[in-house]
Amino acid sequence: MPALETGGGLFTDTAALRGCAFAPPIVWKSGNGKWYHHTMKTAARTQINTGLRDDWLRSLQDLQEQIKAWAAQEPDWTTEASETDTISEDALGNYKAPTLTIHAPDGELRVEPIARNFPGRGIVEVYAWRTLRRVRLIPHEAPEKWRVLTDSGIYLRQEWNRENFITLANDLMQAK
């Protein structure tokens, strides 16, 4: 492999060896003795992860809209949309995600995304403010389908629908 000593480091150019005329992989040793590596794969991964992040945010927005519609049908329930503090994930970078607070006669319920890179396809916490009880929502099959995971690690065997969500929300807010 041809090597070129310049400035404070050693640069190794593999483009000529691979017949690649654009964006060669470059490996170099800096003046402080650390090795660095950059390839087009890094840029491609960033594009893919941006797409993954966009899909995740779209899924969260859809979940928020679905829950808002369900809550609007309940007497004396109101909703308040906001954003999380910045979420930082290695594969997705930094981003803000939509959150939802439901105000009901029995308390408050907060729907808050935690991370996309949770084993599976993401995790959203649903917790009640007075009782401090919570469950987690895990995306399942289609984007509009979610599974409810308890703190015990057990999935509830219920369909993701309005009736079951309202029952779950009331149970969380009324738990003792």
Q: What is the pLDDT of residues 109-155, one digit of tens each?
A: 999 999 998 766 899 999 999 899 999 999 887 656 899 999 999 99
- At 21, the pLDDT band (50, 70, 90 cuts) reads very low
Q: How many residues does the chain have?
A: 176
Question: How far is CA 135 from each of CA 4, 15, 110, 122, 148, rounded to the nearest angstrom?
Answer: 57, 52, 11, 14, 7
- At 98, the pLDDT band (50, 70, 90 cuts) reads very high
Q: What is the DSSP letter of 99?
A: E
Residue type, 165: F
Contact assessment for residue 124 and residue 114, using Cβ atoms and an 8 Å cutoff: yes
- Looking up tokens 């009901």 gives 104
Tell me how far apart the alpha carbons of residues 56 and 117 are, in angstroms, rounded to a whole number. 10
- At 22, the pLDDT band (50, 70, 90 cuts) reads very low
pLDDT exceeds 60 at position 4? no
Mean of per-residue pLDDT scores for the chain? 79
Give 17 or 80, the one with higher predicted confidence. 80
pTM above 0.75, yes or no: no
pLDDT exceeds 50 at position 158? yes
- Looking up tokens 């309202």 gives 166
How much is the pLDDT for 24?
Answer: 45
pLDDT exceeds 70 at position 5? no
